[in-house]
Chain A
Amino acid sequence: DAGVTQSPTHLIKTRGQQVTLRCSPKSGHDTVSWYQQALGQGPQFIFQYYEEEERQRGNFPDRFSGHQFPNYSSELNVNALLLGDSALYLCASSPLANQETQYFGPGTRLLVL
């Protein structure tokens, strides 16, 4: 049983560009959350998707947007990249029956130059 998978593993972009990160949840999970982890910090909640809709959102600007597909996979889009967007982006999934425990993927490391 595959766990949460994310692609790509690493990415380098320049300021002002746009990026799309992808996540496939663990089998049987239908809820996907995205987190940003800056160096030396804990993960920070960006938003959560359930039934293809954004259900909750953290304190991130509108440059951060997402999407969930009918197969529960999800994308995170970041527009107009800033140097400060450089971070590890983590996707976490959870099943409807137990929303409390989230399982994380390995993350995508984004570097903005």
Chain B
Amino acid sequence: DQQVKQNSPSLSVQEGRISILNCDYTNSMFDYFLWYKKYPAEGPTFLISISSIKDKNEDGRFTVFLNKSAKHLSLHIVPSQPGDSAVYFCAASGASGTYKYIFGTGTRLKVLA
């Protein structure tokens, strides 16, 4: 049972435009969400996170939105740059000191120059 889902395996966006990556989850006990970026032959790199007490968190070109009622989060990248081309994973962790991450299957973003 996939508790964290990224239904778009790939996404292509023109340089300078907005990239929107989506993630859905099923477990209402998740209270912390993260986005990681992964280049080939490297480990995932932490991008941005959001706690369930917030609905938005912003860091430079990256913004994460959380809709708890819909169990949905999204990552917005504005403006998109060719260097953003990578696989993006969303991850969730639960309450009560549970720090293991549950990852989605990833979305491959390609930013076209």
Q: Give chain A's interface residues, CB within 8 Å of chain B.
A: 4, 31, 33, 35, 40-45, 48, 56, 58, 90, 92, 94, 99-107
Flag if B103 contacts A43 (CB, 8 Å).
yes
Flag if B98 contacts A43 (CB, 8 Å).
no
Q: Give chain B's interface residues, CB within 8 Å of chain A.
A: 4, 6, 32, 34, 36, 41-46, 49, 89, 91, 93, 98-106
Flag if B100 contacts A42 (CB, 8 Å).
no
Cα separation A92 to B89 with both chains bound (whole Å): 15
**Which among A40, A44, A90 is the interface contact of B43 at CB below 8 angstroms?**
A90
Flag if B46 contacts A106 (CB, 8 Å).
no
Q: Nearest CB to that of B90 among chain A residues?
A: A42
Flag if A56 contacts B43 (CB, 8 Å).
no
A43/B45 contact (C-beta < 8 A), A100-B93, A101-B34 known: no
Flag if B101 contacts A45 (CB, 8 Å).
yes
- Please indicate the chain A residues that have their CB under 8 angstroms from the CB of B42 in the complex: 106-107
* Most chain B C-beta atoms within 10 Å of own C-beta, residue among A41, A43, A104: A43
A48/B99 contact (C-beta < 8 A), A90-B44, A100-B32 known: yes
A42/B46 contact (C-beta < 8 A), A48-B99, A94-B99, A100-B32 known: no
Q: Which 8 A-B pairs have the closest CB atoms?
A: A42-B103, A104-B43, A45-B100, A104-B44, A106-B43, A99-B99, A43-B103, A42-B105
Flag if B43 contacts A107 (CB, 8 Å).
yes
Cα separation A105 to B106 with both chains bound (whole Å): 18
Flag if A103 contacts B46 (CB, 8 Å).
yes
